[in-house]
Amino acid sequence: MKIVIIGGVAAGASAATKARRTNENAQIILFEQGEYVSFANCGLPYYVGGTIPKRESLLVVREELFRKRYNIDVRVLSQITKINRGRKTVTVFDKKNNTTYEESYDKLIIATGARPFVLPFLKDCENSYTCFTLYDVDKIKETLTNKLIKKAVVIGAGYIGMELAEQLREIGLECTIVELKDSILPQFDKEMTNPILDILKTKGIEVKTGVSVIDAKIENDVAKKLILSNDEEIECDAVFQTAGVIPNVELAKEAGLEVNRGIVVNSKMQTSDPDIYAAGDAVEVKSIITGKNVWIPLAGPANKQGRVAGCNAAGGNLEFKGVIGSSIIKVFDRALAKIGLSENECKSLGLDYNVTIVHPLHHAGYYPGGKQLTIKLMFDNKTGKIYGAEIVGKEGVDKRADVIATAIYAGLTVFDLENLDLVYAPPFSSAKDPVIMAGMTAANIIRGEVKNILPDRVYDLLDNKGYFILDVRTPEEYEFGHIKGAVNIPVDELRGRINELPKDKKIIAYCGVGFRSYHACLILKANGFDCLNMSGGWTSWRMYYPDFVE
């Protein structure tokens, strides 16, 4: 058997090594158009900033190891220009020798990945960079070493853009982020990114959202100023283009394989041609949550997909069950994780969903050093199926994200979350872990113990005469800041002052994080009032509307 693999890095390298472990006798050839067969592209921004000091650390598996340990024929600087399905060959352009030849295959694995989106008018500028390959960061490091760079502009506030902006600021550059969408990290719900936005501003990074770069003033192939869609001009010494990636599907499409946004594959990672497999950033796979095909270019799924494709191409039998879409990013001392669907995605899919927001400490409150977490949990209004979660905080974000990701993969509901048996000791968690607390509040909503309402809905109802907004915090908390028009009756005084509330209106109650107002709603419900608890309380309100308070 002869297995040919197009592309290395995550999916291709995983496919090659798994193919060898599955079939010792197969002939395996891996073609990589670049010089490096496998490198840690997720670590590139951190090498730029010096957090990862040695370039060698990024070279995950070297060409020599592939040959000696795995007996894999690695051919770098070899670009596949065509897949000839009829005669089961690929056309190879050898960059080293400037020659072209054909290589036959029994099984083919496409791991062509993706490429960064680049604004055409900046493509040939000497001071315009992407951060996608080792070549890119070599060029960036050389520039930072040999040229006077003071002002950097990062185009695109996704994962790479945010990480790169952090690292550039850490080495002393003035940095401006420009993002087309109306918020940074636009795959998240906007309110969950506001704490990250705050820390960026604190660190001196300027952020411009809702605008795009439409042109540049270029002198001698150097971009001196960027022109934005709002007519603003930004001076720049260096421009970093991180506005997303495009899947490399051209080879597959020209070969007549089924392609949507990405290459279509089944659970075996087979394409529409049973002798051709595909994996990584170039493919679409099933969403475990919705059952629909999605394109999610992340390193974790790419590695697992490559493993499945390599095994099956070599005669094995593995299955890739799908993706959830689990991701996390560090921005200075904050972490932000997304698991599954955001609320905006639930809304766009037309799901019958609900949301709960909790703000617990990451470990027991009486143990020193507790840091507040915010967990936003999306779930089915009737069944409690978990659609997704977003978590932001300083500590413990990754742990809770992984628990929820595992729960979604296992098909658990919010009723399972509230009953999880998780590890506990004061330095690590609380007796009711933050994930369990999110499950409890969600389950309470479905059971009808309390009705919830999100801050954005409350905002829309501020001038509605049919609603009465009740602040059940202390007078001191109320004076420090409150929602416009809210009446303050502390929860501990509520039973004795219940006659002050109008029975002909719906009551919206809120407190600091939603716990006292939950108790207030139970009291009011028992006394015949129609009451809604604002999820996450004043803390949530400040995340949604940081500038709209009294």
Residues recognised as catalytic: 42
Residue 345 and residue 377: Cα distance in Å, rounded? 13
Paired with 338 in beta bridges are 327, 390
The token duo for 391 is 């978590």
Tokens 């669907």 belong to: 341
Contact 374, 355 (CB under 8 A): no
Residue 304 and residue 14: Cα distance in Å, rounded? 8
Q: Report which residue type is found at 297.
A: P
SS3 of residue 287 by DSSP? strand
| Cβ contacts of 227 within 8 Å, gap of 6 or more | 213, 214, 215, 216, 217, 233
End-to-end CA distance of the chain: 72
Contact 378, 445 (CB under 8 A): no
Residue 74 and residue 62: Cα distance in Å, rounded? 10
Residue 356 and residue 374: Cα distance in Å, rounded? 10
- CA dist list (Å): 114 to 133, 185, 262, 532: 11, 19, 10, 46
- CA dist list (Å): 279 to 114, 179, 360, 378, 422: 11, 30, 39, 29, 34
From the list 387, 506, 392, 413, the residue with the least C-alpha distance to 453 is 506
Beta strands in 297-416 (DSSP E): 326-331, 334-340, 353-358, 373-380, 386-393
